[in-house]
Chains A and B, each alone.
Chain A
Amino acid sequence: MFKNVEELVALANKENIKISEVMIRQEVDQHERSRKEIINQMEKNLDVMEKAVERGTTEQVKSVSGLTGGDGKKLYEYMQKNETLAGPFILEAVAKAMATNEVNAAMGTICATPTAGAAGVVPGALFTVKNKLNPSREEMVRFLFTSGAFGFVIANNASISGAAGGCQAEVGSATGMAAAAIVEMAGGTPDQSAEAMAIALKNMLGLVCDPIAGLVEVPCVKRNAFGASNAIVAADLALAGIVSRVPCDEVIDAMYRIGEVMPSTLKETAEAGLAATPTGRYYKEKIFGARTKKGE
């Protein structure tokens, strides 16, 4: 099994195969399952993601708390009718990422990538880049294996849990994973995928997990939005031949160490940051009322 990004890229280069292929082969070897079975399972995950994007951009979803819902749809409609500043391509990724996370917040069905709180980034990027690169269904499934390969390294060498590493471990990881997968789909090299991942993750370092009322809503939905747009920008940087001065594995290690020293009040406990603002406290009180009072 590859232990870090360096080994992952080396395996791909040695065999002259894609990162996604390294991941598929490892899955076959490690779990003694057939290639077909593994690909089918990933395709089912792809279907779940597609349905969540579809639902969030067309339906008026609303979370139980009422804090989030409908913004993915709102942006999607705005960009159909107006000349946008950022351009329709980036904004489509933003809208689809938000849509997915709004479905998640509404207790809808999603696929965790790598977590539910960060579930919008990878599909947001994928279902947008798709319109420009016209991939086959198989290439779309490969996008998820490439994302998964990089996420696999982060999960084993750092963390993908907000409670353990903050939001950098969730939306940060997802952004790096998506950036690497976009590069592969666009025809970049395994090395460029690693650069994209490093560049994307570097720009998410230090991001804390401070959800209002402990809900996976504010700021999670909009952080997914920016994760998806960052992923696309990072992929373009890498495809342009720009490299990260700090290698990908060292960025992952830095993320882990930052998570270690991050106070627990900023790691999914809803005790500080945005959760502790007057507005954050107001919503907590409004949503949970007297029940939370005794816990404070």
Chain B
Amino acid sequence: MKYRSVFDIIGPVMIGPSSSHTAGAARIGLVARQIFQKEPTWASFHLYGSFAKTYQGHGTDVALVGGVLGFDTFDRRITDSLTIAKDRNLVISFHEEEAHMDHPNTVKIRLGDKLDTMELVGISIGGGKVEIKELNGFSLRLSGNHPAILVVHDDRFGTIARVSTILAEKEINIGHMEVSRKDVGKEALMVIELDQNIGKDIMVEVESLEHINKVTKIHE
């Protein structure tokens, strides 16, 4: 079931005018910001389907930028996000794409700073609910509605078990988990949705394991 809470239906509290095109867009931007973990210096937004056709009218542009700046759906600063981006020296660009995607409300966000870049594909499925479909070339499914950790690792036997063992020892329950890899033995990604937020100590412990390259936390 795609929708699991009554507050997916009655909610979110948000700045208008569209739950899918404004609130959903802000949430995708915000997830991108949380995964990147810092304010980027540039961001480009590639819009598909209904997003491409109607983004200006729905405030999709200001909402995406607002999300990347760290604003939630109800944050009034969303309406001024383009100006705020300029003030904070965040260079942004929008691209209306022609390609047909599986979902009508799809956006690809590329962002980065001097050191890092990131690419994320998100869809807004209705009522403000979103899913992240792709991260740096990995396919995944992440709602952004639950606390989660993203673990980039080398594709080696036992790595997944070692990570889940640490969580088990701390009595942290996994709500949803996905693993994907670029190729056998190459870079791989674990997406682990949790029932609660976890502390920095657990992050450090996971990161210290062999074959683990990076651990990122997303919280509610």
Which residues of chain B are near A169, meaning CB under 8 Å? Answer: 126
- Interface stretch of the complex, out of A83-91, A156-164, A189-197, A199-207: A156-164
Q: Which of A111, A213, A267, A271 contacts B11 (CB 8 A)?
A: A111
Range class of the A interface residue count: 35 or more
Residue pair A45, B127 in contact (C-beta under 8 Å) = no
- Taking the complex as formed, is A117 at the interface, i.e. its CB lies under 8 A from any CB of chain B? yes
- Taking the complex as formed, is B105 at the interface, i.e. its CB lies under 8 A from any CB of chain A? yes
Residue pair A109, B76 in contact (C-beta under 8 Å) = yes
Residue pair A214, B11 in contact (C-beta under 8 Å) = no
Residue pair B10, A42 in contact (C-beta under 8 Å) = yes
A112-B128, A267-B50, A268-B50 as given contacts; A148 in contact with B10, CB under 8 Å: yes
User: How many A-B Cβ pairs are below 8 Å?
Assistant: 182
Bound-state CA distance A105–B57 (Å) is: 10
The 10 closest A-B pairs by CB, nearest first: A214-B54, A161-B126, A104-B16, A151-B9, A214-B57, A216-B17, A148-B6, A215-B57, A112-B19, A115-B19
The interface of chain B, by Cβ under 8 A from chain A, is: 1-23, 49-50, 52-59, 74, 76, 79, 96, 103-105, 125-128, 195
- Taking the complex as formed, is A95 at the interface, i.e. its CB lies under 8 A from any CB of chain B? no
CB-based nearest B residue for A144? B10
A111-B13, A152-B9, A295-B96 as given contacts; A269 in contact with B19, CB under 8 Å: no
Q: Which of A65, A116, A177 contacts B23 (CB 8 A)?
A: A116
A148-B6, A161-B126, A267-B104 as given contacts; A112 in contact with B14, CB under 8 Å: yes
A32-B195, A160-B126, A163-B104 as given contacts; A107 in contact with B16, CB under 8 Å: yes
Bound-state CA distance A271–B10 (Å) is: 29
A114-B127, A116-B17, A161-B20 as given contacts; A31 in contact with B53, CB under 8 Å: no
Q: Which of A31, A32, A113, A269 contacts B54 (CB 8 A)?
A: A269
Bound-state CA distance A116–B21 (Å) is: 9
- Smallest Cβ distance from B92 to chain A, in angstroms? 16
Residue pair B58, A109 in contact (C-beta under 8 Å) = no
Q: Which of A114, A149, A270, A291 contacts B53 (CB 8 A)?
A: A270
Q: Which of A41, A148, A151, A214 contacts B56 (CB 8 A)?
A: A214
- Smallest Cβ distance from B100 to chain A, in angstroms? 10
Q: Which of A114, A216, A288 contacts B16 (CB 8 A)?
A: A216
Residue pair B9, A164 in contact (C-beta under 8 Å) = no
Q: For the A-B complex with A115-B19, A155-B127 known, give 4 more contacts whose Cβ atoms are closer than 8 Å.
A: A109-B14, A114-B19, A159-B126, A215-B57
Residue pair A108, B126 in contact (C-beta under 8 Å) = no
Bound-state CA distance A107–B15 (Å) is: 5
CB-based nearest B residue for A143? B10
CB-based nearest B residue for A217? B17
Bound-state CA distance A174–B15 (Å) is: 19
- Taking the complex as formed, is A60 at the interface, i.e. its CB lies under 8 A from any CB of chain B? no
Bound-state CA distance A116–B52 (Å) is: 19
Residue pair A270, B54 in contact (C-beta under 8 Å) = yes
- Taking the complex as formed, is A244 at the interface, i.e. its CB lies under 8 A from any CB of chain B? no
Which residues of chain A are near B6, meaning CB under 8 Å? Answer: 23, 26-27, 42, 145, 148-149, 152
11 A-B pairs (CB sep. < 8 Å)? A104-B17, A111-B11, A112-B12, A112-B13, A116-B16, A116-B23, A147-B10, A160-B9, A214-B56, A214-B58, A270-B54
Residue pair B74, A109 in contact (C-beta under 8 Å) = yes
Residue pair B104, A264 in contact (C-beta under 8 Å) = yes
Q: Which of A115, A152, A155, A288 contacts B20 (CB 8 A)?
A: A115
Which residues of chain B are near A106, meaning CB under 8 Å? Answer: 16
Bound-state CA distance A264–B105 (Å) is: 12
- Taking the complex as formed, is A110 at the interface, i.e. its CB lies under 8 A from any CB of chain B? yes
Which residues of chain A are near B20, meaning CB under 8 Å? Answer: 115, 161-163, 268
- Taking the complex as formed, is A134 at the interface, i.e. its CB lies under 8 A from any CB of chain B? no
CB-based nearest A residue for B3? A155
Bound-state CA distance A109–B13 (Å) is: 7
CB-based nearest B residue for A157? B1
Bound-state CA distance A270–B50 (Å) is: 8
CB-based nearest A residue for B8? A155
- Taking the complex as formed, is A261 at the interface, i.e. its CB lies under 8 A from any CB of chain B? no
Bound-state CA distance A287–B54 (Å) is: 12
Which residues of chain A are near B55, meaning CB under 8 Å? Answer: 214
Q: Which of A63, A109, A164, A271 contacts B126 (CB 8 A)?
A: A164
- Taking the complex as formed, is A1 at the interface, i.e. its CB lies under 8 A from any CB of chain B? yes
In chain A between 83 and 141, which residues have their CB closer than 8 angstroms to a CB of chain B?
103-117, 119, 122
Residue pair B10, A151 in contact (C-beta under 8 Å) = yes
- Taking the complex as formed, is A82 at the interface, i.e. its CB lies under 8 A from any CB of chain B? no
- Smallest Cβ distance from B67 to chain A, in angstroms? 15
CB-based nearest A residue for B6? A148
Which residues of chain A are near B52, meaning CB under 8 Å? Answer: 295
- Smallest Cβ distance from B38 to chain A, in angstroms? 28
Bound-state CA distance A27–B10 (Å) is: 13
